[in-house]
Amino acid sequence: MKIHFLFVYPLFYKTLTRYAGILFALGVSLTLNAQTSPSRDVSLAAQTPQRIVSLAPHATELLFEAGLGSRVVGVSESCDFPERARELPKVSSFRGTNIEAVLALKPDLVVAWPSGNKRDDLQTLERLGIRVFRSEVDTLAGITETVRTFAHWSNDALAEQRAAVAEKQIVSMRERFASRAVVKVFYQLGEGRLFTLSNKHMIGEALTLCGARNVFGTLPIPAPEVSREAIIAELPDAILLASGGALTAVKNQWASAATGSIPIAVVDGARLHRPTLRTLPAVLALCETIDQLRNKK
């Protein structure tokens, strides 16, 4: 059985996206840097930022949720929600950050993603006097913590309410699903090469919350490639597919295998992979899908 540990670098990333509609645009942690960094504050006591550049889709969405949307002046190419973010200048992509374009926007804060943005680019911005806040959200609780952190800059009472509601949703789901019979699942990102997510990614927490076991959860990096033989050996109860558009191809992919009788269910990878407040309804839908599979066992 072969398991390939996939470290996604910018040039290779472009090839991978055709298989899954995953990774950078959807919020899967990459290893563009030698290691990831936790969220790091940048002197909240300092002047409240008025012009913000966001270099990550999850950060952009959470900035808008925290009432800071009107202060966001630039984003990455993958920032597509809310709709207003699509209209903002694009200053970064999987290739890296356009430093000159960032400087031209005259930001007083850049919100970055350590696993998705090049460390050298962030250090360059800091050397040039730009404050950088590093946002690495890898837990469900981290979503609400980040909303509250950003709300500190906006003084938006509604943002605090949204965070509180989200926390209650997480508690409610844990109470409802976590004690149910365990369902073994293979989490497949898309058609073609067999990429999955381990418990290094937030999806591991979501699956556990739902009472499921990720059969490749213990692998040491967030987005490994696994072999067909390894999946068959694990004999999962179900395959969870993160890309609905790939369903027909994936059914054909497994039709002639020993797993041909194992059910395949589509889940909302776009929201599950990008840690925002929209992730929580997607987790609830994930749990309900797993519950349906559990009842068919």
**286, part of any domain:** yes
Give strand pairing partners of 241: 188, 266
Q: Which domain holds residue 203?
A: 177-296
Name the pairing type of β-strands 225-226 and 3-4: antiparallel
**63, part of any domain:** no
Number of structural domains in the chain = 1
Residues 293 and 183 sit within 8 Å (Cβ to Cβ): yes
Tell me the mean pLDDT in the region 264-269.
Answer: 96
Name the pairing type of β-strands 225-226 and 212-214: unpaired
Q: CA-based angle 171:175:177, to the nearest 5?
A: 115
**223, part of any domain:** yes
31-76 pLDDT tens trace: 444 334 444 555 544 568 999 999 999 999 999 999 999 999 999 9
**213, part of any domain:** yes
Residue of 78, 23, 10, 11 whose CA lies nearest to 195 = 23
Residue 87 has a CB neighbour count (10 Å cut-off) of 7
pTM of the full structure: 0.84
**112, part of any domain:** no
Position 97 scores a pLDDT of 96
**120, part of any domain:** no
Q: Token match 């004999």: residue?
A: 235
158-188 pLDDT tens trace: 999 999 999 999 999 999 998 899 999 999 9
- C-alpha 64/C-alpha 50 separation (Å) is 13
**209, part of any domain:** yes
> Counting every residue, how long is the chain?
297
- C-alpha 9/C-alpha 61 separation (Å) is 24
- Predicted confidence (pLDDT) at residue 15 exceeds the cutoff of 90: no
- Predicted confidence (pLDDT) at residue 190 exceeds the cutoff of 50: yes
Lowest mean pLDDT among 85-89, 229-233, 254-258: 254-258
Position 32 scores a pLDDT of 40
Name the pairing type of β-strands 52-54 and 90-93: unpaired
- DSSP 3-state of 56: coil
Residue 106 phi/psi, 5-degree rounding, is 55, 55
Residues 108 and 51 sit within 8 Å (Cβ to Cβ): yes
Which one-letter DSSP state was computed for residue 181?
A: P
Residue of 31, 34, 78, 14 whose CA lies nearest to 224 = 31
Q: What percent of the chain has pLDDT over 70?
A: 82
Q: Token match 């925002």: residue?
A: 276
- C-alpha 195/C-alpha 20 separation (Å) is 8
Question: Average pLDDT of the chain?
Answer: 86
93-116 pLDDT tens trace: 989 999 999 999 999 999 999 989
Name the pairing type of β-strands 183-188 and 90-93: unpaired
CATH number at residue 286: 3.40.50.1980
DSSP string for 2-51? -EE-----HHHHHHHHHHHS-GGGGTPPP-SSSS----B---TTSPPPSS
**113, part of any domain:** no
